[in-house]
Amino acid sequence: MSKPKPKVIFPVLLSFFVVSFVDLVGTGVDELRQNSNTPEYLLQLIPFVAFIWFFLLSVPAGIWQAKIGKKKVLNVAILITAIGLFVPILGNNLPVILVAFSLLGIGNTIMQVSANPLLVDVVQDNKASSFLSLSQFIKSLGSMIGPFVAAVVGPFLANLFNYEGEGLWRYGLYLFGFISLLSFFWLSMTKIEEKSEKEEKVSITSCFKLLSNRYIALMVLGIFAVVGIDVALNSNIGTFLNLKIGVDEEMAKYGKSVYFFAKMLGTFAGAIILMKWNPRKILGISSVLAIIAVIALSITSNEVLAWILVGIISLGVSNIFPLIYSITVGDYPTRSNEISGLMMMAISGGAFFPFLVGLTMDYRVNGGLLLILGLLVFILFLGKINPRK
């Protein structure tokens, strides 16, 4: 493939910034916890309604994009996301926020099914892992600034419009809604030549039939595990720092900001390193780094060290998603639509593991970390399996 053109790559990369908006689930939980009497277990419905769509819609979205094209599907998804970001105009209560994050989850599901393979289409084959890590860096950037936009920019914008009611954070969502519309129009005006794929007709049957391939099935489970780790840490790291280390509850909320900042650095470094290094080796190194940090976090009682270890875990986990995705698609390039659908379905791990980690932490403070440790050991194993067996 010829050298990719920035005018084609940039609008695709911007869509990954829009992808990051679903990570506002943690902010939504925190804001409603502070401003309403909603029980804690009901607040966990917010991440659930955002991520369950990956299980329900990913495979149909993969089939849909095989029929009409990745760019068209991506644009529809961005528009759905924009609508979801404007829904909180209707109120600052749990039913409205659940509708908003349901739409964000639907849009996010379809976006990730289409954006990842579309990015692979517009870059050189040997640069796919690097650009996928760069896309995750852009996503991490959005995830990191999201809480700041909601907590600081949102109230500032509300004051500009002379709004003094509750739920000032929602004005941050409206700002992200306008960015989503910008992404929609930019991508609409960009001409993209998608790679033609000589593959059998894509169907739900053909997608799930791929799971009979042991290698693909294990890689899909790897995505299920790593997204589960990512969302569980986002949702529970503040609680862990508060219960185990004794960090002040208000300060502990910044645990997710530390996590996303380190993830941003990790994906940026990954984009550079993967220009030269073998993706399988990086997968192994990343897994080992995260495993060591999780074990250390489970035994430390030092607050400063705990904050550092949260960052190191994030560094280790940061590139695992794009690594597993690019390795698998690279091994089976003619089945990218089906693999993309299956792997995006596996992002539903983000709907289930926060509950499991939170539940195990109720019985034992380190219980959630032990569950995460087991998932990381499984991911380490993935780098060793043969794709043709």
Residue 375 has pLDDT above 90, yes or no: yes
Q: Is residue 267 part of a domain?
A: yes
Question: pLDDT class for 389, splitting at 50, 70, 90?
Answer: low
pTM: 0.77
Question: What separation in angstroms does the CA of 369 have from each of 277, 303, 351?
Answer: 30, 17, 17
Q: How much of the chain, in percent, has pLDDT values that exceed 90?
A: 29
Average pLDDT score over residue span 282-291: 93
Average pLDDT, the chain: 84
Q: Is residue 144 part of a domain?
A: yes
Q: CATH code at 283? A: 1.20.1250.20
Q: Residues of 176-214 as b/e, b for ≥16 C-beta within 10 angstroms? A: bbebbbebbebbeebebeeeeeeeeebeeebbeebeebe
Q: Is residue 196 part of a domain?
A: no
d(CA 298, CA 45): 27
Q: Is residue 197 part of a domain?
A: no
Q: Is residue 326 part of a domain?
A: yes
Contacts of 280 (CB under 8 A, 6+ apart): 327, 383
Q: Is residue 194 part of a domain?
A: no
Residue 382 has pLDDT above 60, yes or no: yes
Per-residue pLDDT reduced to its tens digit, 10-63: 999 999 999 998 888 877 877 787 776 777 667 778 888 888 898 888 888 888
Q: Is residue 389 part of a domain?
A: no
Which range scores top for mean pLDDT: 97-111, 135-149, 220-234, 296-310?
A: 97-111
Per-residue pLDDT reduced to its tens digit, 71-80: 999 999 999 9
Domain containing residue 41: 6-189+203-382
User: Considering only CA atoms, which of 322, 240, 251 is closest in space to residue 286?
Assistant: 322
Residue 199 has pLDDT above 60, yes or no: no
Angle at 278 (CA atoms; ends 274, 283), nearest 5 degrees: 85
Per-residue pLDDT reduced to its tens digit, 139-192: 888 888 887 888 888 889 988 988 887 888 899 999 999 999 999 999 999 988
Residue 237 has pLDDT above 90, yes or no: no
Question: pLDDT class for 241, splitting at 50, 70, 90?
Answer: confident
Per-residue pLDDT reduced to its tens digit, 314-338: 999 988 988 898 888 888 877 877 8
Residue 1 has pLDDT above 60, yes or no: no
Q: Is residue 282 part of a domain?
A: yes
**In the prediction, which pLDDT does 182 show?**
97
Q: Count up the domains in the chain and report the number.
A: 1
